[in-house]
Amino acid sequence: MRLDKYLKVSRLIKRRTVAKEIADKGRISINGKVAKSSSDVAVGDELTILFGNKTLVVKITRIVETTKKADAEEMYQVVSDTAR
């Protein structure tokens, strides 16, 4: 699944266009490598997302095409959530 779509479906980022912008600015990395919005993600990958003054690291546990809001949190596991 594309990175921008995964971020939207998992509700880590609300809109796919916003996810695309953030990824294309180089603020998201997959397993330590800077990722584009079109990069593929797989179960077990570790995403590092830089939001302003906050860094969020999550591990992908599940990939589904669509999900309900209640089930979205099961798609990832938060590794760390730190403020800079």
Helix (DSSP H) and strand (DSSP E) numbers for the chain: 3, 5
Q: What are the sequence ranges of the domains in the chain?
A: 3-83
pLDDT > 80? residue 84: no
Read off the pLDDT of residues 39-62 as tens digits, 9 standing for 90 and up. 999 999 999 999 989 999 999 999
pLDDT at 28: 95
pLDDT tens digits along 21-38 = 999 999 999 999 999 999
The CATH superfamily label for domain 3-83 reads RNA-binding S4 domain (3.10.290.10)
Q: Is the dihedral of CA 59, 53, 40, 6 positive or negative?
A: positive
20 pLDDT higher than 90: yes
Q: What is the mean predicted confidence (pLDDT) over 72-76?
A: 92
pLDDT of residue 38: 93
Q: Do residues 84 and 38 make contact, with C-beta atoms less than 8 angstroms apart?
A: no
